[in-house]
Chain A
């Protein structure tokens, strides 16, 4: 359960204050499938970052799974990101020197999970995105769609409750884009809360709920 109340986020750009989010109040139940849409600069990425505990609101409160995370110390926020939230980015953000398995393993290394358990989970996560045969390939040996699937495997390997995807298909051709959307939708059907930031109306149509933003406010 995600609950935002009167959340605002401002940025100082030179002399000017940009209101990226203005008094956003929002509730997303567990297992929901939400598309955040709106023009560039409408605040959808900022909203996603606030939900993902990467950014903090200037005012308002954010309650995640019953815990008020608004003023939580950075260290505890790290733990929430580690265990409850998975991120998928437009540009994949894979570590180029690590192979697919190494990239999926990354969050678990820093969570100090044992070697045996890690390799078991890596195998399972790569299998769930259909990339078991590519485990030893580095990102530059993988296609765009494959890279994004590695990124998704990495996002879910710690067993999060929420998957946040920022333009996950923005850098892919239509065909791989469709595969990626189907993949994350399948994960949503297994109980994961899915929040997607997108420009693409076809994805918007598939979501259970569409939230449209304009100038930092929810318009619909």
Chain B
């Protein structure tokens, strides 16, 4: 076996340029497969990582029942309002619930003096700070206490601060939201885009105040954090049961967990990665045709050698394996070179763009090499069999 590959290796060394070009083809194919899967995998890790910052023991309650898996549903008609009372009951009746925070969403022209800006206004409670892992740049978050008490205070994002206060300390200043006046008590640290809206460009007010401002009767979301990840399923069931009882036996809410969101994002990005790998695999096929071409040339060039091999008693099956060994060596060397190139490129990209976690999945490494060798053997079979079928007498009559 080793001698066979040594013999094949010497044959390849005899045609250096041809060998180099052919391995280059395979190398590019393998490198592109590995790089593209690394990009896809990087995107997956990036997105799921972003989602995971929300915490994995989080349940999001939405009004309305929508048959979907994971993705945030579009809300149609809602039979029953999801009220502040519902939210409070969830906290009070279910022991596994550690914290809870209701949420409303509105859009308003917010002004300070002569400056105004159209921003999203979130109505929520003190607990939201912890649930969404927010931190304060200045001042305090909304005050803890009764959720149905709407005090006229607000916290603002850094973008709002920049646009409306222009360098003036906003704490203690008055902000007009629609026709209501709110005193600024804090500025949220920059966090950027997260779960659909830009935390830097919002104003947050107590949920009871928000429902009054927008004359809303239903909540937009209830964020529920359970005491541990393990009892997530049971807690979900209990929430549904509780709300069903309160809503005249109608199951009119949808629960989202981090798990289901993560799972569907995972699926999407895995599919994307596979699609990218598939596209790159086309270049491997092209490389395989290149190998076939080289092997066919090699067979016709070495006709007399093949004749000689047969004359000295080399079996046809051994002639086949000589050429298959050559083809698989070509693709294996190309595959390894391609892999090294890909690893170096990934390493470089990590240094240049540390924010985007490019990651070569382990399966991609093995798969790329395996596919390269399979391509080599597959495209080598036909030339090898041609070699084995040569008539030794005719082959030897050539000089």
Contact = CB atoms under 8 A, between A and B. Distances in A.
- A pairs with B: yes
A134 to B, nearest CB: 19
A117 to B, nearest CB: 12
A79 B313 contact: yes
A78 B318 CA distance: 11
B319 to A, nearest CB: 9
A111 B313 contact: yes
Interface residues of A, number: 30
B312 A97 contact: no
Contact of A107 (B14, B312, B317, B392): B312
B370 interface: no
Given A93-B304, A93-B307, A109-B7, A78 B314 contact: yes
B312 A106 contact: yes
Contact of A95 (B305, B316, B392): B305
Interface in B307-332: 307-318
Contacts of B314: 78, 82, 107, 110
Contact of B14 (A49, A83, A97, A106): A97
A54 B313 contact: no
A14 B396 CA distance: 22
A97 B309 contact: no
B393 A78 contact: no
Given A54-B393, A74-B316, A75-B316, A98 B310 contact: no
Interface string B40-82: 0000000000000000000000000000000000000000000
Contacts of A87: 311-312
Contact of A97 (B10, B307, B311, B392): B10
B312 A154 contact: yes
Interface in A38-90: 49, 52, 54-55, 74-75, 78-83, 85, 87, 89
Contacts of B263: none
B11 interface: yes
B312 to A, nearest CB: 4
B316 A78 contact: yes
A153 to B, nearest CB: 12
B149 interface: no
B362 interface: no
B399 interface: yes
9 contacts: A54-B392, A75-B315, A78-B314, A78-B316, A80-B313, A81-B310, A102-B10, A109-B3, A110-B314
